[in-house]
Amino acid sequence: NTGLIGLGVVAGVAVSLQFSAMAQKTVEPPLPLEELRQLADVFGLIKSDYVEPVEDKKLLEDAISGMVASLDPHSAYLD
């Protein structure tokens, strides 16, 4: 009986710690959909109206490189 009570106490503590950890997690804000839509619009304009053809992969990799490089002088995107 003592073993069962001890097991119940341990299980109760473990469950309460799990719920406590879940409650303390911060909720991430949703993706900035308007800004992503703007990025997609510019991407589409470049694809349709730029003087020379541009490969999707290169355009996206350069956009990512630019985002990371703008953070600080020490950051770089390595593909």
Predicted confidence (pLDDT) at residue 2 exceeds the cutoff of 50: no
Q: Is residue 74 part of a domain?
A: no
Specify if 42 maps to a domain.
yes
Residue 41 lies in a domain: yes
Domain range spanning residue 65? 33-69
Distance set, CA 5 to CA 10, 13, 15, 29, 55 (Å): 9, 12, 15, 42, 66
8 domain-assigned? no
Q: Is 50 inside any structural domain? A: yes
15 falls within a domain? no
Inside any domain, residue 10: no
Tens digits of per-residue pLDDT, 20-64?
A: 655 566 667 778 888 899 999 999 999 999 999 999 999 999 999
> If you average pLDDT over residues 4-23, what whole number do you get?
60
Q: Rounded to an integer, what distance in angstroms lies between the CA atom of residue 56 and that of residue 71?
A: 23
Looking at the structure of the chain, the number of domains it has is 1
pLDDT over 70 (residue 12):
no
pLDDT for 31 equals: 80
Q: Does 27 reside within a domain?
A: no
